Structure 1
Amino acid sequence: MVGLGGCAAVETPVLPSDVPADWRQPPKPSAGAIEPDLRSWWVALGEPQLDALVDRAMAQNLTLAQARSRLRQVRFLARRDDAKYRPMFSASFHPLQDVSATDSYFQSSLDAVWELGLFGGREAAERGIRGRVAAAVATTQAARVSTVAEVVRTYADLRAAQIQKVHLQRLVDLNARTLQLLGIRRGQGLSSADDEFRVEMRLAQVRSQLSQSSQVVEQSASGLALLLGQATPDDEWTQAIDWPPQSQLGARNFALQQVPTDLLRYRPEIRNAEADVLKAAAELGSAKAELYPRVMIGSSWLYSHNLTQHSRRTSDSTPTIGPFIDIPLFDWGRRRAAVSAQKEALDASVLAYRQAVIEGVAEAESALNRLQRALERCQNMQAVLDATQRRTKVMVTLKRLDLASELDRLDAERAATQASMELAAARVDHTLAFVALYKSLGGAPWPVEEALEPLSSSAPSKGGAR
């Protein structure tokens, strides 16, 4: 039976790695491009306040704390399940009355049993434990990835709304001054009431946008508080920023160190699918082991003392030791059907793993494309801003020489301010694309104690970097 036990074990299937050798649209190399590390990719944004917020979220986020607690729970249960195929000892002490109800006895016993776990049963149990722990680790890592990405995204939204408020307030001042000048010109018969009406409409729209930006600031601050596990936001989050706003968000070009094979190690969805394959293989192994006899070795020793007669005379049973064999006889069909069902479940888990890999590559490719398009938009908007600022300088010079009116200068400043606001929005969109990319790659802090190698030896253990 011991010799046959190894023949029944189920091997973990070879997992397909449908991963291309390189990205289809890698970032274009450029001088000064930053190469963020997956462990701390948000540091490349150059925002010390953001770095502090991420650290606080890692320590205080309630969703992440629940994931850690569930991981510890799974590990504690793994210790319990791991003891199933180890020798177990028990002792019992209890009173007992005989059938005739004439004598009472005090009995004590010592028992030992060891289930050998033949025919792949022990291997299946160990594999199932590793699969459950690996799934909990992947879930916890997914919580870290999501938490970091949400903190960065919410912070970017907060900063964007604050920057927009500065630009919109500038537009309010410019339109208000324009409206004042138009009133003077209409009194001199140099403009019409329709000109004032258009400026009034524009001023009302800008003030409405300013109100919406203030609302976004409050919502983003509340979202940060939620991510940090606190009821109210910090006052410093909503403080006004100085003009001109000098945010590093989206202002730089980013390079990509990771290659597609890194997804197999770092992306939580893939690691979770890999753990599901491991668990399915364990279930199949357990089902196959139930087709064969269960073999256990046990021993027992009993001591009995007569309490009714108050005598020292005792009755001892001879210690027993020997094998216990449980042989399936009449439910073979049910057990065979369970094996067939688990085979299908294992095949389905392998297909799910393959789908998780393909989806991961597709999501990363989409994020790369979005990042490239956002960078191009930033570059185009920077060109527009440069042109409007040059025009503003020209109009200031012409106004000083009395070759242009105050209204012309205000119009040029309004166009430059509008271009600045659109450039800030493009930079924030670039940052959000950057967040989406590193979220798709599985970027987040990794605890030192967590293994990041693939669970299956068939999957690549290391991806190249550049």
Structure 2
Amino acid sequence: MVSLWRPRLLSSLLYVFSLSYFATRFSASVICSLLLAGCVTLDTPELPTHTPTSWSEQSPKNAPAIALRSWWQTWQDPTLNALIDEALTANLDLAQATQRLESERLIAGRWQSPFLPTITAGARPTQDVSATDMYYHASLDMTWELGLFGALDNSKLSANARLYQAEATEQGTRVIVIANVVRHYLALGLSQKQQQLLQHQLTLDEETLELALTRQRAHLGTPEESTQAQLRLAQTRANLALEREASSRSARALAVLLGREQPDSAWTQINAPLQAPAFTLTELPADLLRTRPDIHTAEADVLQAAAQVGLARSALFPRLSLGGSILYAYNTTQNMRTSTDYAPSVGLYVDIPLWDWGQRRTRMQANESLLDAALLGYRKAVLDGVSEVENALSGLTHQQERIQALESSEQALKKQQQSQRTLQSLGLSSRYDQLLQQRAVLETQSDLWRAHAARTLSFIALYKALGGAPLPEKPEETTP
């Protein structure tokens, strides 16, 4: 029985698929008008891409331009370059974003799966209506969702929007990681420099306190002078402890960015904080639309919202699909085949929304509101990007003014210190007065280093706002 059953089943399968082929061609000519009605064009909204023509804060025109994708290399610091290279390969946040992107890439590569012909097989026991015979049914079913009225195109748009969003998220993580590595590297250098100045200042304060006590015992100074010297010494020690804590925090933050468990002891040798170089900004506000990841994310949100509107609109129309099946029935009660061993069928399935049409209409209107919100979010992302760049350029300008003022103050204090030395050599001044002058110079130098660091932070914020980071390597094209 088995040897006869298999050839008959095979011939029946060939029969039903050939029948499906000819029925499909016949149905195509019959429902041609319906297919044309279902060819809804893809409706994607126009993005509000208006941006200023130029920046309000202009950079010098005679300075060199800096490459956006490798802006940190302008310092030509091998240690910094090595740290960034390590962060791009070992940072855990970036690794997570890369894995999520790979997941979305795999899913997006199969977006058309619901609209491809599917074949299912099943077997089950059943009983006839009169409850006299038991049958064993084996069936082979084929369905083909046509994806009319925009369902096919909007499903593709939705999948591409999710992929685009994952790509923007990964690139945004890359931008943040690079900016944070440079920022903590700057903080390490600044902290080490401040500790050197504070150590020198601590030595001066200890000597000043000793001289103040001597002057008090000799009745040449007042108790207030000794008290002020003690306060200055205590404040210097407190500031030194704060700088050591800041150095430890920056080192540990840098270690986390590199995926390390402990900071590198060699980082304590970074004692020259980065200074912002002279540069010419060649990027325009319109360039943010293609370089800033969060704008890409907002664009992906708009595309996703538009796809959901299209899918909700397609749900208002009848759902059409082609289907075919072949049924084999075996009478287990009488241990014999029925008179109709095989029952092939093929045809067009129509699912018409009737009672829930109003609910589907409400869903489409709700998705249209979400699309409007996504467009507003995109506009907000563009404005935020322009604002961040403008703030960074403004910070560069004003911090440069502060640096110039502190440099003038430092020069004046050094001249005053030289005059103090002259007076001391002539016996018209004391070592005590000279120590106070040296301390004032050290405090000004400390403020000057902090001003340089603040300007460098504005430089880092500028290229972070511009989306400065290397682009990821494009994956190899694979055939789905």
TM band (smaller chain)? 0.7 to 0.9
Q: Which moved more, 1:177-186 or 1:412-421?
A: 177-186
Q: Which moved more, 1:335-344 or 1:277-286?
A: 335-344
d(CA) in 1 for partners of 2:200 and 2:372?
62
Q: Which amino acid aligns with 1:376?
A: E
d(CA) in 2 for partners of 1:195 and 1:297?
98
Note if 1:194 corresponds to 2:230: no
Q: Offset of 1:46 from its aligned partner? A: 4.0
Q: Which amino acid aligns with 1:9?
A: T
For the 8 Å contact 1:82–1:129, the answer to whether it is kept is no
Q: 1:389 to 1:296 in 2, by over 3 A?
A: same
Q: Which moved more, 1:385-394 or 1:258-267?
A: 385-394
Per-residue CA distance 1:223-275 (angstroms, 9 max, x = gap) = 222222333222222x255xxx543x125333322110111112222111111
Unaligned runs of 5+ in 1: 451-466
For the 8 Å contact 1:98–1:104, the answer to whether it is kept is yes
d(CA) in 2 for partners of 1:123 and 1:240?
58
Note if 1:96 corresponds to 2:93: no
The equivalent position to 1:12 in structure 2, one of 41, 44, 51, is 44
Aligned partner of 1:160 in structure 2 is 190
Q: Which moved more, 1:271-280 or 1:336-345?
A: 336-345
Q: Offset of 1:210 from its aligned partner? A: 0.6
Aligned partner of 1:331 in structure 2 is 356
Structure ID, larger Rg: 2
d(CA) in 2 for partners of 1:342 and 1:335?
11
Taking the TM superposition and a 5 Å limit, the aligned residue runs for 1:245-260 are: 245-247=271-273, 249-260=274-285
For the 8 Å contact 2:141–2:323, the answer to whether it is kept is yes
d(CA) in 2 for partners of 1:315 and 1:387?
110
Specify the SS of the correspondent of 2:350.
strand
Q: 1:39 to 1:270 in 2, by over 3 A?
A: same
For the 8 Å contact 2:191–2:247, the answer to whether it is kept is yes
Question: TM-score, normalised to structure 2's length?
Answer: 0.83
Aligned partner of 2:299 in structure 1 is 274
d(CA) in 1 for partners of 2:437 and 2:280?
36
Note if 1:443 corresponds to 2:462: no
Question: TM-score, normalised to structure 1's length?
Answer: 0.85
Q: Which amino acid aligns with 2:141?
A: D
Unaligned runs of 5+ in 2: 1-33, 476-480
d(CA) in 2 for partners of 1:389 and 1:251?
25
Per-residue CA distance 1:98-144 (angstroms, 9 max, x = gap) = 44475553x54433221111111111111111111112222222222
Per-residue CA distance 1:281-322 (angstroms, 9 max, x = gap) = 111111111121111112223345566777799964243322
Report which structure shows greater RCO (CA 8 Å, sep ≥6): 1
The equivalent position to 1:364 in structure 2, one of 379, 384, 389, is 389
The equivalent position to 1:27 in structure 2, one of 52, 59, 64, is 59
Note if 1:214 corresponds to 2:247: no
Specify the SS of the correspondent of 1:206.
helix
Q: Offset of 1:4 from its aligned partner? A: 1.5
d(CA) in 1 for partners of 2:390 and 2:56?
7
Specify the SS of the correspondent of 2:470.
coil
Per-residue CA distance 1:385-408 (angstroms, 9 max, x = gap) = 334345445555665676754334
d(CA) in 1 for partners of 2:432 and 2:46?
73
Specify the SS of the correspondent of 1:446.
coil
Q: Which amino acid aligns with 2:53?
A: A
Aligned partner of 2:342 in structure 1 is 317
Q: Which amino acid aligns with 1:212?
A: L
Taking the TM superposition and a 5 Å limit, the aligned residue runs for 1:67-466 are: 67-92=97-122, 94-99=123-128, 100=131, 103=134, 105=136, 107-186=137-216, 188-237=218-267, 239-240=268-269, 245-247=271-273, 249-304=274-329, 316-393=341-418, 395=420, 405-449=430-474
For the 8 Å contact 2:322–2:347, the answer to whether it is kept is yes
Q: Which amino acid aligns with 1:3?
A: L
Q: 1:392 to 1:333 in 2, by over 3 A?
A: same
d(CA) in 2 for partners of 1:299 and 1:91?
12
Q: Which amino acid aligns with 1:289?
A: S
For the 8 Å contact 2:183–2:460, the answer to whether it is kept is yes
Specify the SS of the correspondent of 2:375.
helix
For the 8 Å contact 2:193–2:272, the answer to whether it is kept is no
For the 8 Å contact 2:88–2:94, the answer to whether it is kept is yes
Aligned partner of 1:463 in structure 2 is none
The equivalent position to 2:70 in structure 1, one of 24, 40, 44, is 40
Q: Which moved more, 1:181-190 or 1:121-130?
A: 181-190
Q: Which moved more, 1:360-369 or 1:319-328?
A: 319-328
Q: Which amino acid aligns with 2:231?
A: M
d(CA) in 2 for partners of 1:72 and 1:389?
60
Q: Which amino acid aligns with 2:447?
A: E
Q: Which amino acid aligns with 1:365?
A: E
Specify the SS of the correspondent of 1:329.
coil
Q: CA RMSD in A?
A: 2.7
For the 8 Å contact 1:306–1:314, the answer to whether it is kept is no
Specify the SS of the correspondent of 1:317.
strand
d(CA) in 2 for partners of 1:325 and 1:104?
30
